[in-house]
Structure 1
């Protein structure tokens, strides 16, 4: 009989057992579908995230401080030094992303812009989808400014119209001609528009002093060789600018993939491992079903052996049936994967994966699904095939179909598989429990400020329209006064960045201190009402006053972490702090020192980290770079949105307003999004694993009840009570549960350290999580065992005796 004949026979066999087939195929569809969906994410984010030519040769030129922080932004003069003097790179790209004002066509809008060097698209190795890349003629002095559109912006704003080429956009009050549109996956820095420019020494890029460096190494150049070539250049810069580039900073080259946070990669591998456990549970469950069904097929297999079928032939037949189950489950699993992937994409936290990553059920993912289906068939099919074709294969014929020889060994195998299912389910449930505890802990953590009733919005000013610092200051002061006049606005303040999501930082020195810490201090540029809006506690001295903000007085307020790190916990008020980088362009301060006038309570200021950074609060009027407004509302913060925008447009009709949302929404999208993502996926996988494990327990207990029906009937006839029969049957389920839970808890203790990167504010060995899982499984497992136990207790002895 050929392999295809085996498949046809297997298909007929499955049709005769529709309930078995439905449960087995459904289990496999869930396991294979979940694994395929997660593999799609892993493939898109980790294995093949970038469309750029040879991304392993694209190196971010970073410097690393003594406390481990990375920096990859350089003044334009330093970029030109590195680009012109190195001998190991085919090209060096400079870019800086910033908000770009698009005006002249209806309501002013803010776009995400990427100011980049003319060679960017050549170095990245990706040509435009339509149009052309910047040419040498575009770099000639006096040439008309040009721009290229990002694919998503082109589709969203222009409907993918190719006729957009040649049109002009007024970006930051500069008229630029559209010369091209980049492909869908070209999302370098996630830009809506790319603004190629020629960078000159002593200049800024539309107000941005620093640029990010990306070098494409020549073929054959190693990272070590490149670092040795860059090092003398950086040493020269350090000698020339020791305050802006401290000697404690060291060179660090990162390939393109390393420039993205590793947290999401670690999380995805862990989640991929979790869904792998789910697939194993599904395979064990199907193997259990096949073993339970084996009792019904033992005579059929014995007949085959009796008429001369060799053991290898019987095993092939049984494995072909398993393969058929796996293929059908795999095909359905692809549909499950496609649906699950849509859900995963909707849940992915913002700003955690590369913009270029394209998650889809593509050819590599389909090949993975095929491979997983074949492996699954072997995993769940081999044990039943070996057991059915064993040495006692002819026993059913010799005993004329009666008796139960070999059932003890079969019950042992079934029980062992259920123990494995329970143990794997425990591991998933422990992970889910830790994720739940983590999210609850994060949401209940004292932030140091009160996020309720705060509305945030951004109004970044164009450097073309607001070149004069005094004009910037006058506009911001005017806007603050206008918003304060709105009924329901209890307090209004301003800042640069969006604490606690992002705040700019610089190295500082404390006058008279011997500390050598060169890590960055978060510097907030704000006004006198910031504490009133945020509800932050003042511990020593005072906060900034209205008069000193208006007078641009060099006063500073610091947090507790600053005092501990820079002042060794000693007196802070009256000490002088310097920001050396601010003596250079674009700040160009003659005096870079600030006197501490107060100390405030620590607040969570970096949602991406458990660590609290040192902070300084300065009058925003010193640099006039503040771009975010914070409003404390009397009621719901969203109710003030329209009125605030109206006041801003009244001050400047062409000033875009963006990212208007409540502080609670900001925290949901940033602080809570990643833990919630981990929680949801872990919980889904754990719930499915628990359901499959309970099916396994139910199936084994039911199988044993069916095998022991005559014995149970005799016990009842001899006087066994309803409760005694229930207890007898439940004891089997309880034994399997206890053994499985014990193995699962031990395995969880051994593997839970892998979750340490996802667990915050609690220990990965949190006893409450382990105890909750054990209690849940015992309760659910006993319920699953009770159903066949009740059926056994209702057996009629007379009926059983007649059979």
Structure 2
């Protein structure tokens, strides 16, 4: 132990004797370790930290799937059957979300309400901080209307008043009793919700009593101790097979889909996080290579010292240990400074992160796990960049220690080869990162240029309540929407206005259809994205009409429902035919079949680069649907789409006034330019690519600095040789060519290796970012390689020019 302490003291003295080298090494490592710690804090918060629930590994998510739709919400009646018949879950609970208007105290506002079964909170292992959980009798259609407030809503609307329990809140026109307040650290799977109500309180509504309807409910299951996910999946699959036999038309070919909750929460950004983590590790390796070069150069200057120490009896391990301790101290100093940079970096990442990077697992923070990672990185990096110099310096020939030898000549060979290999590695890694960043940027540009299928410019989207009261009939609700539409149309500067129950990039709705003449069996059912719209919606969105007509004033209540389909559905089911006048079997029209009156272009529903749940789309005039179908969908938020002559944001207050003129208790919400939704759909991609580009630029700078340092030191060590060449008549241009050729040989080797690595990397990126990265595109290689070559040329040319200013007489006397 005393020997170790002595080694540490000696190492500190040696580092202090070379402050310039030490500071450069520390700051280089601090930069690399800082970005590594920052990104790892995000990885920890999003992927690694346990879910904030009791025994999270026992939790699964349950959805439903069909052959042509991968994931769907679970009908409420199916949930009741799964809950009653399963044998593998200690709890199977329902949760979902819907929008409702809060009136009474304060201004009316639209809030998102989380629906939960009475046993949801106990299943998660959480409880209200104030008050109580829902009672079983409240989780029923005729039970007392009880509501629990999220902590943020309680603090904002009620000023954190503990006397709020027992008060009533008017939600959707009905009075609900406040029975609890959730703790501030409660993290729901639906983080934007502000209130919680029992899901059973809505069980008498049409959509909850229809086994074929899907009112945005999904299930959480807590598996019994010892039960594996495969067993739970088989259990629910068996129940699904039974439901298909009992309810062939309603349940059909639906089946339960069991997913690990932990994996599901991490899945949306797993690819992006893996890519960012790989990029900062590359930056760390480049920084380590730079520091290794510094330590090698320092070790070369200490050859005499090492030889004398060996001559006095120090063994090779003793010399290696001394040099490794110095390297580890440099790494620890760099980690300490890097940790300070990471504290700032984490705040920056958290402030700019998109919603997908937000965390059910908690905020991005430098916690114990992150500190442990930083320490491990520091120790690993210290060993990584310290081992090669230590091994090189510990190989001693004792004879030169007894005479005054040319240490530059003796040190040159192996040490310079090691340093050259490190530079080649730096260039290769930098090229890979740069090609990856350029490929991602090109992919983003390509995706941004994708036609969404409509014209979002000068388009304002806002949402209004689905009905002025929960008991309003569909006719009354539609009268409210039409009054709002009429009021908005009267605003000067409005070009057109329409409304829809679903909107591209915002919300979706899936309905089923069958080809005419096909037997109405689950096997023949197909799903289509469905829009229930007003006349004028297609014109306002500027969705191109390819055949037939759109909806007009004559497509109103009391007329037979007609259908407009998109080009994908037309091509699939009416190839080589005119779809207009053809018929399809559907569910919403209430008819044996419905006539197709128009064909329009396909729109991007889920994002410019997002996969579609189904390739087909259909449009109904909401007013034409029978009341039973209208009641099925009336609780969906209605989206008002308005096209203006000028900038949409300038009209927001006028649109808001138009809504309140129709009903003062109905607020306008989720209002903004439609371009904002398109921009938001790429926010996660843009955030990831921006960080990747920053890290690639940092890698380029570090690689250039490393190459410059190596060439500068090479010139310094070859002072005698270059002086001799010039004394013998070598021209300055020849000396420049000699040095540049040596440096560019290293750059060329690095580019060749990096190009091979970049091929593999872009293929991996195309998997992580599907639809964005084209692994066969040569443009990133052609764009990046010349840039790196030019940077390498500059990094070698400057030391080469310095070599031409060597005085031959001074060089001949140089030791």
Counterpart-to-counterpart distance in 1, 2:130 and 2:306: 65
User: Aligned ranges for residues 201-220 of structure 1 at < 5 Å?
Assistant: 202-203=204-205, 209=215, 211-220=217-226
Change in 2 beyond 3 A, CA 1:565/1:402: same
The equivalent of 1:585 in structure 2 is none
Take 1:160 and 1:318, find their aligned partners in 2: how far apart are those partners? 60
Counterpart Cα distance in 2 of 1:413 and 1:70: 54
C-alpha distance in 2 between matches for 1:566 and 1:258: 37
Are 1:577 and 2:584 counterparts?
yes
Which of 655, 658, 661 is the matching residue for 2:672? 661
1:776 corresponds to: 787
Q: Does 1:257 align with 2:267?
A: no
Whether contact under 8 Å (1:58, 1:256) holds in the other structure is yes
The normalised TM-score by structure 1 is: 0.93
TM-score by length of 2: 0.92
Residues 122 and 419 of structure 1, relative CA distance in 2, 3 Å threshold? same
**Deviation per residue, 1:774-797 (Å, 9 max, x gap):** 111111111122221221122222
C-alpha displacement at 1:646, in angstroms? Answer: 0.9
Tell me the equivalent position of 2:178.
177
What's the CA shift for 1:421? 0.8
Instruction: Give 1:606 deviation, angstroms.
Output: 2.1
Moved more, 332-341 or 112-121: 332-341
- Separation of aligned partners in 1, 2:322 and 2:377: 20
Native 8 Å contact 1:494 1:530 kept in 2: yes
Q: Which runs of 5+ in 2 are unaligned?
A: none
Q: Distance in 1 between matches of 2:203 and 2:145?
A: 19
Cα displacement (A) at 1:600: 1.1
Q: How many angstroms apart in 2 are the aligned matches of 1:473 and 1:751?
A: 54
Residues 186 and 761 of structure 1: CA distance in aligned 2, closer, same or farther (over 3 Å) = closer
2:247 paired residue among 241, 245, 248: 241
Shift of 1:691: 1.1
Equivalent in the alignment of 2:197: 195
1:710 matches 2:717: no
Mapping 1:358-507, distance limit 5 Å: 358-392=363-397, 395=400, 398-400=403-405, 402-462=407-467, 464-465=469-470, 467-507=472-512
Q: Give deviations 1:595-651, integer Å, cap 9, x for gaps.
A: 211111222222152557311111132335561111111111111111101111111
Find out whether 1:689 has 2:719 as its counterpart.
Answer: no
- Kept after mapping to 2: 8 A contact 1:69/1:519: no
Residue segments in structure 1 that go unaligned for 5+ positions in a row: 583-588
Cα 1:269/1:35, change in 2 over 3 Å: same
8 Å Cα contact 1:299-1:397 kept in structure 2: no
1:633 alignment counterpart: 644
CA displacement at 1:157 relative to structure 2: 4.4
Q: Is 1:40 the equivalent of 2:41? A: yes
The alpha carbon displacement at 1:489 in A equals: 1.1
Q: Distance in 2 between matches of 1:244 and 1:58?
A: 28
SS at match of 1:556: strand
Contact 1:111 1:192 in 2 (8 A): yes
> Counterpart of 1:586?
none
1:259–1:416 CA distance, 2 compared to 1 (3 A): closer
User: In structure 2, how many angstroms separate the alpha carbons of the residues matched to 1:402 and 1:423?
Assistant: 31
Preserved CA contact (<8 Å) 1:129 1:182: yes
Aligned partners of 1:513 and 1:567 also within 8 Å: no
CA contact (8 A) 1:185 1:358 kept: no
Residue by residue, what CA displacement relative to the aligned partner does 1:685-722 show, whole Å, maximum 9, x if unpaired? 11111111111101110111001112222333333333
- Give the superposition deviation at 1:125: 1.5
Aligned residues: 793
1:548 corresponds to: 555
Shift of 1:737: 0.6
For the 8 Å contact 1:298–1:393, the answer to whether it is kept is no
1:298-336 deviations in Å (ceiling 9; x for gaps): 222222222222211111111111111111111122222
Shift in Å, 1:15: 2.2
Q: Who is 2:544 aligned against?
A: 537
| 2:284 pairs with one of 274, 279, 286 | 279
1:796 maps to which of 807, 810, 813: 807
Conservation of the 8 A alpha-carbon contact between 1:349 and 1:674:
yes
**Aligned CA distance change for structure 1 residues 665 and 66 (closer, same or farther; 3 Å):** same
* Farther off after superposition, 109-118 or 707-716: 707-716
Distance 1:500 1:221, change over 3 A: same
Provide closer, same or farther for how the CA distance between residues 758 and 367 of structure 1 changes in structure 2, counting only shifts above 3 A.
Answer: same
1:222 partnered with 2:223: no
- Structure 2 matches for 1:718-797, cutoff 5 A? 718-756=728-766, 757-758=768-769, 760-797=771-808
Q: Does 1:109 align with 2:115?
A: no
Q: Deviations over 1:513-533 (max 9, x none)?
A: 589564531101112322322
